[in-house]
Amino acid sequence: MVEENQHTQTGIEQAELARPSKWAELKNAIRGTEADYTKISLKRAIFLLAVPMILELVMESTFAVVDIFFVSKLGASAVATVGLTETYLFLLYSIAMGLATAVTAIIARRIGEKKTHEAGITAVQAIMLAIIISIPFSLTGIFFAKELLALMGADAWSIEHGYRYTQWMLGGNGIIMLLFVINAIFRGAGDAAIAMRVLWIANGINTILCPILIFGY
């Protein structure tokens, strides 16, 4: 019995020594890892998934901050246009987040069951559904941008000049829907780091193009 306890204690100590440090785990979470989340400890799995997802949410919030920063140079009415348009986009975000949550759950289950083919079918169906859902928002934004701003109490400048921003944001909402859904697919497959890096690239492009397109450089 004593020898068995000593052997067990030795095994635990060896496992502790083999476990990566917190700093190494942080780098793995950001860089991405091929760890099987059904076989590693629950705490480690949560950490590896939570870090890139938190950074991803930060990147999603950065879009509006960057837009408003540059648009503020055009005046209060321009900022109001961005704010009013974001209000409509929040309706889209709620649908996109709900769809993304469902996609993540289904993909994760299929991956956990080692049914990669079924996971691929689910991913394609989710992308098609996202495109279909985005069409009514696009048509409404393109053809009724002025009416939507007027409904929210926008001033004359926003309606006459700022409506183009609303047209672009709502008209191109399919990209936003696909961003949510495709990133949800990667998260469900256990590779949240890719979803995070996609938003890094998107934010970099947005930061470069904002002043170019807003100020006409």
pTM listed for this prediction: 0.77
Local structure of residue 21 (DSSP, 8 states) = P
Percent of residues, the chain, with pLDDT higher than 70: 90
Alpha carbon dihedral 55, 56, 61, 67, in 10-degree steps, equals 110
pLDDT, tens only, 116-169: 999 999 999 999 999 999 999 999 999 999 999 999 999 999 999 999 999 999
| Cα 131 to chain centroid, rounded | 16
| Cα 5 to chain centroid, rounded | 48
Burial of residue 140 (number of CB atoms within 10 Å: 0-12, 13-18, 19+): middle
